[in-house]
Structure 1
Amino acid sequence: MQFLWPQFLWLLLALPVLVGLYVLLLRRKKKMAVRYASLSLIKEAMGAGQQVRRHIPPVLFLLSIAALLLAAARPVAVVTLPSNQQTIILAMDVSGSMRATDVQPNRLVAAQNAAKAFLQELPRHVKVGIVAFAGSAQVAQLPTVNREDLVTAIDRFQLQRATATGNAIVISLATIFPDAGIELESLQAGRNRARGMSLDTERKPQKEFTPQAPGSYPSAAIIMLTDGQRTTGVDPLEAAKMAADRGVRVYTVGVGTVDGETIGFEGWSMRVRLDEETLKSIANKTSAEYFYAGTAQDLKKVYETLSSKLTVEKKETEISALFAMVAAALAVLSAGLSLVWFNRIL
């Protein structure tokens, strides 16, 4: 714990002085009592319990003063508070490799079930959007608080070929910032033009913005789940830089086999491999985290962890009000006990 005004802590040195004054007052009362009666008779009349009681209200009042002085020094501590996160984009891989059964019953169904459980854990005020991606990326559901619409969108996933992880990040950013002029077509046009390819479309300039510190945008985050490596589309690290410059965290979740395996379907086969290195780089670049889920249970735990991370956050917060509240409670308790026991305040 730190203090914004530590110079006020010197006032705590007054507490021993107050204790000394209290002791002097007690001795003075004892001397006055001896003038009129035997001290032993007074102690016997008061009893041991009464002797202890008489000190409790002053001690509580002294603690109240100490709490007030600490509050005046403006203490600051790291505390866990409800997050300001208002929008979460789930970018989910629907490429053909998601039909693999190494995650039971298969990768896609396990991802769908985990995503639905994740929605149930989130506070109702948090908006969630769905982006589905394979060879391309599209918004399956605009951000909404309607959980039924989100579940319907998840249930409608259709498997497709190829994997464009970079496109998923760009479309997610465009969904979070609809007025920022983020266009996937413009980015792809720029890449192709740099390679010397002729295009019919003109690249539209993005709106001016000031780059932010990675992870500094508190109102939205992206969770990207994929089981393969990028085969087409925008470079995912380029897309991750776009997210980092806007302060948006991109949490990445890898599902399936790290070493890779061959998956066949309807006469065709393909080799799929989880590109953990790129997923970790995306998460690191945006000040987020990477999670690996090798089983359906692992995937469920990942979403539970993400739910807790995105709904609460640790912040350095001034807690002067807390100390002031404790001081007030101690002062009231001190006065109340004094009235009940001795019919006077202190």
Structure 2
Amino acid sequence: MQFLQPLMLWSLLLLPLMVIGYLWLLKRRRKQVVAFPTVSWILQNMTTPSPWRRHVPPALLALALALLLLASARPMARVTLPADYMTLIMAMDVSRSMLAEDVEPSRIKAAQKAAKEFLQDLPANVRVGIVSFAGNAQVVQHVTTQKEELVAAIDRFQLQRGTATGSGLLLSLATLRPEANIDLEAALYNPNPYGYGDASANGIAGGASGGARSLDAKPAAKQRTPEPPGSYKGGAIVLLSDGRRTTGPDPLLAAKMAADWGVRVYTVGFGTPNGFIPGYEGYSFFTQVDEEALKGVAKITEADYFKAGSAEDLKKVYQHLSTQFTLEKRDTEITALLAGAALLLVALALTLSAWWFRLGPPTANNLKIAD
């Protein structure tokens, strides 16, 4: 639990002082009873409740005060609330490595089936767009709530050579946040236009020339104040890939751009270490998931990475994600909750006191003389 005004917690020191004062009053009252035997005789012969009951209302009032003092520090707690995600972009790898049959019937067929089931599990008001990437990236379905169109787009996937994971991520970011006017061409083709790390070392287009820029190249985009990673609640990206990047921007640099726009990128590594695709003249090519890159993308954007080695695993991953986009844990101020609980305790203390002790002067009904 966190507190917005932690200095107010010092006020809790009042509680032990109040307890000490309460005990002192009880002790003083006993001395007065002994000093006046007539009063003592009357008190002993009154029909009063069990001795422990007289301590319950003060205890409830003390607990109520503790809650109020705690509320004054404005506590924050992680609670599960309905998610605010309204738009999701599914970025899916359609490189030829998806032909591998280590996942039955094939990676691409299993991925298509799981993706379509994932769409059916999403709330009806969630808007979804689909981006595919291989040697380059393209939007195969613009953002929509029509699930029939989304399913048809998934069925239209065409496998191609190459794996441009970074391009798929950048295009997904531009599709998710069109109001940001992201210069997609600069991001895809300029050597590190936003100043993220060393472009030449990370294989972004143009890095082979040592960072030199031609005279007709576009200038770098203007610097902007980045948003906190994971702060954008209007949408998220789900990226599925089964291999390593072979072309295009570094996905880690693309992830840093997504993080600066506050967008979370949930990544899914699909396939097994034994996956291969047949090549020319009987040669086969093994294809393995670049888990380190996918984990890095998820970490940079304050999201999660999932490993799916089978069709059933992928189905479970998508089921988990559908829950993630329906409910989420969020830091929420619970001051009002504590204050409300304190008021209920005060009301309970007053009610019990009135019920047990019949507030008012002694009468023939509540005073009994010993025989």
Q: TM-score, normalised by structure 2?
A: 0.75
Question: 2-side partners of 1:36 and 1:273: how far apart?
Answer: 90
Q: Could you tell me how far apart the structure 1 residues matched to 2:228 and 2:119 are? A: 28
User: How far apart in 1 are the matches of 2:298 and 2:39?
Assistant: 81
Q: 1:25 to 1:148 in 2, by over 3 A?
A: farther
Q: Which residue does the alignment assign to 1:250? A: 265
Check whether the contact 1:259–1:274 (CA below 8 A) recurs between aligned residues: no
The answer to whether residue 9 in structure 2 is matched with residue 6 in structure 1 is yes
Aligned residues: 341
Contact 2:115 2:318 in 1 (8 A): yes
Q: Per-residue displacement from partner, 1:293-337 (whole Å, max 9, x unpaired)?
A: 101121122223334444444444432222211111111122223
1:209 aligns with 2:209: no
Distance verdict in 2 for CA 1:259–1:215, change over 3 Å = farther
User: Which amino acid in structure 2 is aligned with residue 329 of structure 1?
Assistant: L
Q: CA RMSD in A?
A: 3.8
The structure 1 residue matched to 2:19, chosen from 16, 27, 35, is 16
Aligned-pair distance for 1:188?
Answer: 4.5
How do residues 79-98 of structure 1 correspond to structure 2 at under 5 angstroms? 79-98=79-98
| CA pair 149-57 structure 1, distance change in 2 beyond 3 A | farther
1:337 to 334, 352, 370: 352
- Give the Å deviation of 1:119: 3.3
Secondary structure of 2:336's counterpart equals helix
Q: 1:118 maps to which residue?
A: 118
Aligned to 1:71: 71
Cross-structure match for 1:42: 45
Bigger mean CA offset, 99-108 vs 32-41 = 32-41
Superposition deviation, residue 124 in structure 1: 4.2
Query: Aligned letter for 2:118?
Result: F
Change (3 A) 1:299 1:338: same
In structure 2, distance between residues paired with 1:33 and 1:145: 83
Cα separation, 2, equivalents of 1:113 and 1:134: 19
In the TM superposition, 1:173-322 aligns within 5 A as: 173-190=173-190, 203=218, 206=221, 209-258=224-273, 260-263=275-278, 271-322=286-337
Q: Which moved more, 1:201-210 or 1:332-341?
A: 201-210
Asked if structure 2 preserves the Cα contact closer than 8 Å seen for 1:211 and 1:246, the reply is: yes
- Alpha-carbon distance in structure 2 between the residues aligned to 1:142 and 1:25: 79
State the SS of the aligned residue for 2:179: coil
Partner residue in 2 for 1:161? 161
Q: Which moved more, 1:27-36 or 1:144-153?
A: 27-36
Q: Which residue identity lines up with residue 74 of structure 1 in the other structure?
A: R
Closer/same/farther in 2, CA of residues 100 and 249 from structure 1, 3 Å limit = same
Q: Calculate the TM-score normalised by the size of structure 1.
A: 0.80
Identify if the C-alpha distance between structure 1 residues 77 and 65 changes in structure 2 by more than 3 Å, giving closer, same or farther: same
Measured after TM superposition, the shift of residue 65 of structure 1 is 2.2
* Partner-residue secondary structure (3-state), 1:35: helix
Asked if the contact 2:100/2:275 (under 8 Å) is kept, the reply is: no
Following TM superposition, by how much is the alpha carbon of 1:254 offset from its aligned partner in structure 2, in angstroms?
1.1
- The reply on whether 1:27 has 2:30 as its aligned counterpart is yes
Whether the aligned pair in 2 keeps the contact of 1:260 and 1:274 (CA below 8 Å) is: no
Asked if the contact 2:100/2:276 (under 8 Å) is kept, the reply is no
Farther-moved stretch of structure 1 (303-312 vs 189-198):
189-198
Q: Which runs of 5+ in 1 are unaligned?
A: none
Identity across aligned pairs (percent)? 49
Aligned partner letter, 2:344:
A
Deviation string 1:220-239 (CA, Å, 9 cap, x unpaired) is: 32211011222333333332
Q: Which amino acid in structure 2 is aligned with residue 294 of structure 1? A: G
Q: What residue number does 1:105 align with?
A: 105
SS in 1 for 2:262: coil
**Given the alignment of the two structures, is residue 325 of structure 1 paired with residue 340 of structure 2, yes or no?**
yes
Instruction: Describe the superposition over 1:173-218 as per-residue Cα deviations: whole angstroms up to 9, x where unpaired.
Output: 111221333354444443566767999x964864653234444434
Q: Which residue number corresponds to residue 143 of structure 1?
A: 143
